[in-house]
Amino acid sequence: MKRLHVLSFGCQMNIVDGELMASAFRRAGYAIAPAPDDADVVLVNTCAVREHAEEKVFSHLGQLARHKRRRPGMLLGVTGCMAERMGNEIARRAPYVDLIAGARSFGDILALAEAAHRGTGVQISIGHDRPPPERDVTLRADRHRAFVAVSRGCDHRCTFCIVPSTRGREQGRPLAEIVEEVRQLVADGVVEVTLLGQNIDSYGKDRPAEENLHTLLHACDAVAGLKRLRFVTSHPEDMQLDVLDDMASLPKLCGALHIPPQSGSTRVLKRMARGYSRERYLEVVREFRRRAPEGEVAADFIVGFPGETEEDFEQSVSLVHEVGFQQSFVFRYSPRPGTPSEVHFPDDVPEAAKAARNLRLLKAQETVSRAKHEAMVGRTYEVLVEGPSKKDPERLTGRTRGNAIVHFRGDAALAGELLEVRVESATPLSLQGTLAG
């Protein structure tokens, strides 16, 4: 029996795509290998959002080439956004790669592998909109949590973003198909589902009028056996009030909103073509918190965007404090080939300044996180147990509905359970607690 190993980089959508590709190979009779060492086919599922991620892939490919030399007949493939963007260059820089499938055409992956096995040269499929493989819900890294893609691609044209060119225009899946996938996952032991879209708030724009994020959330919330429901990623321009109402009223929908501002400066947001101002972003957050006072908000920021001044950056710092984000993911601006910002704006913020701003913004978030977590000490929260802590196997790790990480002592057999945990102490990154009762 041939064996497959998939190594996925990047976002949660890439994790789902990796699971879908593994599903296609399993239906063809492949076993799933836990590591590349003894796999007959190794797929590197890539990200193209930042240059660093792409260079990291080439480094991994070099390491995998050594496995390939030790295992005659092993196939090495590159898939995902980086493959879509630079498939021919990958074939040139890594001539030992056997197959390349872009983010829009990874539905071809099994046919490409079969052709490569026949020894007909490197197989490349990019620039095609192919339907993804059907999912085998048993193939996932986490037994109790799962991601479900509801749409792919994005119709926004943020000047820094390469996603529209690598994943194409937004295409939503039929609502009934999504709900059925959730049902199958729950039947296989999943208790928490996160719905995914590059811009999930506009789900349904290419579907019948009755299919939108509001109706999808209600349909998923009604799935028997599901305990928790989340969705990412939101765009401030497209956030709908009925969805904010759902976050306060639907019993399974967690009150945690991931809605990236990208910058706290209206001037920079305009150059990013984000379609909203700082004031509009704060208005969305206020509407959310008015409905869900204990709801949590997570953020993404880009520092060092072309033309960003110290004053612009300080507005991002002040936004962190004003909103009180549950967490912030901070990235240094990296020009992506062919994007409007790369074409029209010189990358004029020095790397040293980007690094300093990155650190300062993380420090600001650390201050906010510490205060928020310390305010949780002494209170009891519902926690979904994920399993043993990676750093301390004698302790368990779980998450609150607001997505705070909690560590506590307990039996590993409790994974997948919803338990009440009393918070005893806190750090900026996590909470430490004890099982209530």
List beta partners, residue 407.
Answer: 397, 432
What is the structure's pLDDT at 293?
Answer: 94
Q: What does the alpha-carbon distance between residue 122 and residue 113 come to, in Å, rounded to a whole number? A: 10
**Is residue 121 predicted with pLDDT exceeding 90?**
no
Task: Spell out the domains of the chain, with CATH numbers in brackets.
Answer: 3-125 (3.40.50.12160), 145-374 (3.80.30.20), 380-435 (2.40.50.140)
Q: Determine the average pLDDT of the residues in 298-317.
A: 98
> How confident is the model at residue 149, as a pLDDT?
97
**What is the pairing mode between strands 418-426 and 171-172?**
unpaired
Lowest mean pLDDT among 47-56, 183-192, 238-247, 291-300: 47-56
pLDDT tens, position by position, 357-407? 999 999 999 999 999 999 999 999 999 999 999 889 889 999 999 999 999
Region 285-302: what's the mean pLDDT? 97
Q: Distance between CA atoms of 437 and 173, rounded to whole angstroms?
A: 44
Instruction: Pick left, alpha or beta for residue 393 (phi over 0 → left; psi -120 to 50 → alpha; otherwise beta).
Output: alpha
The SS3 assignment for 409 reads strand
pLDDT for res 154: 95
Angle at 424 between CA 422 and CA 430, to 5 degrees: 95
Measured in whole angstroms, the distance separating CA 185 from the mean position of its chain's CA atoms is 19
Sheet containing 123-125, strands listed edge to edge, beginning at the edge strand earlier in sequence: 31-32, 3-8, 41-46, 75-80, 99-102, 123-125
- H-type alpha helices, 332-421: 340-344, 351-374
Tokens standing for residue 164: 């529209």
For residue 119, what pLDDT is reported?
A: 83
Among the listed residues 215, 251, 254, the one whose alpha carbon sits nearest the alpha carbon of residue 231: 254
Specify the pLDDT at position 38: 86
pLDDT of residue 70: 87
Q: What is the CA radius of gyration of the chain?
A: 22
* pLDDT over 90 at 419, yes or no: yes
| Tens digit of each residue's pLDDT (9 = 90 or more) over 333-354 | 999 999 999 999 999 999 999 9
pLDDT band at 179 (very low <50, low <70, confident <90, very high): very high
User: Residue 91 has what pLDDT?
Assistant: 95
